[in-house]
Structure 1
Amino acid sequence: MAIIVEIVGWVGAVLVLGAYILVSIGRLSGGSALFQWMNALGAGFFVLNTWWHGAIPSMVLNIVWSAIGFAALWRIWRAKATDSR
C-alpha cells in the first residue's frame, strides 16, 4: 500500500507542476478546464499522500486547492451549459 500512496503522490506532483508550467509558458489558460482538472486531481492525489504521511497542514491546503479546482470546473461546466441553450 505504501508504494501505491507514493505513486499517487508523485502523479499528483506531476499534475500540479505540469499545470503550472503549461500556464506559465502560455500553453494553457488558467481558466481552462484542462488546467483546473490537472490542479484538482493533482491536489486530490496529494491529499491521500499527505494524509498517509500525517502531514495535516499540507493535507488541508490540498483539500482547499482541490475544492477550488472543482468549483472552477463546476463554473466552467455551467457556463458551457448556459451557452449551449
Structure 2
Amino acid sequence: MSETLIDILGWIGSIEVIVAYGLNSYQRLRSDSLMFYALNFTGGIFLVVYTIYKEAYANTFINVVWVIIAIPAIIKTLRNLKS
C-alpha cells in the first residue's frame, strides 16, 4: 500500500471514531445502534492498519481491543434486528 493511502485510512479511522463518540455524546446516535458500532469497528480497523504501518504498536494494541469490543456488539445488534 502506498503511504498516502495509509495516511488516508488513518484519517478516516480517526474521524469515524470521533464522529461516533461526538454524536453519542450529544445524543444524536445511540450507543447501541448499528451505526455507532459500525463507525467504531471500521474506524478501529483503519487505525490498526495505520498504526501497524507506522510501527506505533501501543496504538495498535488499543485499536485491536476497540475492534474486538465492537465485533460481538455488532453481532448482537444484527441478531436483535432480525427478531
TM-score normalised by length of structure 2 = 0.94
Q: Deviations over 1:1-49 (max 9, x none)?
A: 0010000000000100000010011100000000000001001100000
Aligned to 2:8: 7
List runs of 5+ in structure 2 lacking aligned partners. none
Aligned to 2:36: 35
Query: Over aligned residues, Cα RMSD in angstroms?
Result: 0.8
Retained in 2: the 8 A contact 1:12–1:43? yes
Task: Name segments (4+ residues, structure 1) moved above 4 Å.
Answer: none
List runs of 5+ in structure 1 lacking aligned partners. none
Q: What amino acid sits opposite 2:8 in the alignment?
A: I
Return the alpha-carbon distance in structure 2 between the equivalents of residues 51 and 44 of structure 1: 11
TM-score normalised by length of structure 1 = 0.92
Aligned to 1:49: 50
The secondary structure found in structure 1 opposite 2:31 is: coil
Larger radius of gyration: 1
Q: How many residues in Structure 1 have an aligned counterpart in Structure 2?
A: 82
Return the alpha-carbon distance in structure 2 between the equivalents of residues 8 and 70 of structure 1: 20
Return the alpha-carbon distance in structure 2 between the equivalents of residues 41 and 2 of structure 1: 19
Retained in 2: the 8 A contact 1:37–1:70? no
The percent identity for this pair of structures is 30
